[in-house]
Amino acid sequence: MKKFVGLVVSNKNKNTAIVEVTRFLVHPLYEKRVKRTKRYPTHDEVGVNLGDKVLFAESRPYSKTKRWKIVQVLVARPLEKQKAEMPKVQKKGNKRK
């Protein structure tokens, strides 16, 4: 069974969280470290928040694309920081004349 550690980047859907896994590899010719990221749709029964660091594992298919399940929240992000970083929406008036 495969297990990964990643960061929750979206939790807008019911029972689904998008978890991003970042890894570094060395380019074979230039020997420079290259950052690679991959996003996994995971089944969320725990109720994770944005920015949480989670452990997720392979599981049975829940849907067409969901084949991962969140096992444990490793580091929970405080809610105060989440609310402070939310973008403020400003209404723009109609400027046509």
Question: At 16, which CATH number?
Answer: 2.40.50.140
Range of the domain at 25: 3-84
If one counts the domains in the chain, the total is 1
49 occurs within a structural domain: yes
30 occurs within a structural domain: yes
Alpha helix segments (H runs only) across the chain: 79-84
- In terms of pTM, does the model score above 0.95? no
Unique residue bearing structure tokens 């969901």: 66
8 occurs within a structural domain: yes
Reading the chain (97 residues) residue by residue, the pLDDT tens digits are 899 999 999 999 999 999 999 999 999 999 999 999 999 999 999 999 999 999 999 999 999 999 999 999 999 987 666 666 666 666 666 666 5
φ/ψ of residue 79, rounded to 5 = -70, -25
- The amino acid occupying position 64 is K
Question: For position 19, what pLDDT does the model report?
Answer: 98
28 occurs within a structural domain: yes
Angle at CA of residue 68, ends 64 and 73, nearest 5°: 145
68 occurs within a structural domain: yes
